[in-house]
Amino acid sequence: MAGSENLVHLSDQTFDEEVLKSDVPVIVDFWAPWCAPCRAIGPIVEEIADTYAGKVKVGKMNVDEHTRVASQFQVTAIPTLLIFKDGQVAKQIIGAVAKSKIIEAIDGSL
Protein backbone atom coordinates (compact mmCIF):
# COMPACT_ATOMS: atom_id res chain seq x y z
CA MET A 1 0.00 0.00 0.00
CA ALA A 2 1.71 3.14 -1.23
CA GLY A 3 -0.68 5.47 0.56
CA SER A 4 -1.68 8.98 -0.24
CA GLU A 5 0.90 11.76 -0.39
CA ASN A 6 -1.73 13.88 1.37
CA LEU A 7 -1.60 11.63 4.44
CA VAL A 8 0.62 12.65 7.37
CA HIS A 9 2.13 9.94 9.56
CA LEU A 10 1.97 11.31 13.08
CA SER A 11 4.01 10.50 16.15
CA ASP A 12 3.95 11.56 19.79
CA GLN A 13 6.77 13.98 18.87
CA THR A 14 5.06 15.62 15.87
CA PHE A 15 1.45 15.63 17.11
CA ASP A 16 1.33 19.08 18.74
CA GLU A 17 2.92 20.81 15.75
CA GLU A 18 0.99 18.91 13.04
CA VAL A 19 -2.41 18.74 14.76
CA LEU A 20 -2.91 21.13 17.65
CA LYS A 21 -1.17 24.07 15.93
CA SER A 22 -2.68 23.40 12.49
CA ASP A 23 -4.54 26.29 10.85
CA VAL A 24 -6.89 23.83 9.10
CA PRO A 25 -9.05 21.09 10.68
CA VAL A 26 -7.18 17.81 11.17
CA ILE A 27 -8.55 14.27 11.12
CA VAL A 28 -6.45 11.80 13.07
CA ASP A 29 -6.95 8.08 12.45
CA PHE A 30 -5.79 6.17 15.55
CA TRP A 31 -5.05 2.63 14.34
CA ALA A 32 -2.81 -0.43 14.67
CA PRO A 33 -1.53 -2.87 12.00
CA TRP A 34 -3.19 -5.90 13.66
CA CYS A 35 -6.63 -4.23 13.75
CA ALA A 36 -8.88 -5.55 10.93
CA PRO A 37 -11.47 -2.73 11.17
CA CYS A 38 -8.57 -0.23 11.03
CA ARG A 39 -7.34 -1.82 7.81
CA ALA A 40 -10.92 -1.73 6.48
CA ILE A 41 -11.24 2.05 6.85
CA GLY A 42 -7.62 2.77 5.85
CA PRO A 43 -8.45 3.21 2.14
CA ILE A 44 -11.39 5.47 3.04
CA VAL A 45 -9.11 7.66 5.16
CA GLU A 46 -6.66 7.87 2.23
CA GLU A 47 -9.47 8.86 -0.18
CA ILE A 48 -10.56 11.57 2.24
CA ALA A 49 -6.97 12.84 2.45
CA ASP A 50 -6.97 13.26 -1.34
CA THR A 51 -10.52 14.65 -1.60
CA TYR A 52 -10.00 17.28 1.12
CA ALA A 53 -6.36 18.14 0.30
CA GLY A 54 -5.76 21.80 1.14
CA LYS A 55 -8.94 22.07 3.26
CA VAL A 56 -8.32 19.40 5.88
CA LYS A 57 -5.13 17.69 7.05
CA VAL A 58 -5.42 13.92 7.49
CA GLY A 59 -3.04 12.00 9.73
CA LYS A 60 -2.61 8.43 10.88
CA MET A 61 -1.26 7.52 14.28
CA ASN A 62 -0.15 3.97 15.12
CA VAL A 63 -1.24 3.48 18.74
CA ASP A 64 1.22 0.60 19.26
CA GLU A 65 4.18 2.85 18.46
CA HIS A 66 2.86 6.13 19.89
CA THR A 67 0.95 5.70 23.14
CA ARG A 68 1.20 9.16 24.77
CA VAL A 69 -1.23 10.97 22.48
CA ALA A 70 -3.68 8.05 22.35
CA SER A 71 -3.87 8.00 26.14
CA GLN A 72 -3.98 11.83 26.36
CA PHE A 73 -7.16 11.80 24.24
CA GLN A 74 -8.52 8.65 25.94
CA VAL A 75 -8.51 6.54 22.78
CA THR A 76 -9.53 3.16 24.18
CA ALA A 77 -10.92 1.51 21.03
CA ILE A 78 -9.57 1.50 17.50
CA PRO A 79 -10.14 2.62 14.90
CA THR A 80 -10.94 6.01 16.39
CA LEU A 81 -11.08 9.10 14.22
CA LEU A 82 -10.76 12.43 16.00
CA ILE A 83 -11.45 15.65 14.14
CA PHE A 84 -9.51 18.57 15.60
CA LYS A 85 -10.42 22.17 14.94
CA ASP A 86 -8.43 25.04 16.47
CA GLY A 87 -6.49 22.57 18.62
CA GLN A 88 -9.62 21.02 20.17
CA VAL A 89 -11.48 17.78 19.48
CA ALA A 90 -14.56 18.77 17.46
CA LYS A 91 -15.83 15.27 16.63
CA GLN A 92 -15.06 11.66 17.51
CA ILE A 93 -15.91 8.60 15.43
CA ILE A 94 -15.28 5.14 16.88
CA GLY A 95 -15.24 2.00 14.78
CA ALA A 96 -15.23 1.22 11.08
CA VAL A 97 -18.04 3.41 9.83
CA ALA A 98 -19.30 4.24 6.35
CA LYS A 99 -17.43 6.86 4.34
CA SER A 100 -20.60 8.99 4.33
CA LYS A 101 -20.53 9.19 8.17
CA ILE A 102 -16.94 10.42 8.11
CA ILE A 103 -17.64 12.98 5.37
CA GLU A 104 -20.70 14.21 7.28
CA ALA A 105 -18.52 14.73 10.39
CA ILE A 106 -15.83 16.55 8.38
CA ASP A 107 -18.30 18.81 6.59
CA GLY A 108 -19.85 19.67 9.96
CA SER A 109 -16.40 20.74 11.22
CA LEU A 110 -15.36 22.93 8.29
Peptide bond just before 33 cis, omega within 30 deg: no
**CA 74 – CA 83 distance, rounded (Å):** 14
**3-state DSSP of 52-68:** CCCCCEEEEEECCCCHH
Asked about 25 being catalytic, the answer comes back as no
Q: Evaluate whether 32 touches 88 at the Cβ level (below 8 Å).
A: no
Catalytically annotated residue among 26, 35, 58, 61: 35
**CA 45 – CA 47 distance, rounded (Å):** 5
Catalytically annotated residue among 8, 19, 38, 69: 38
Asked about 35 being catalytic, the answer comes back as yes
Q: What is the DSSP letter of 78?
A: S
Catalytic residues: 35, 38
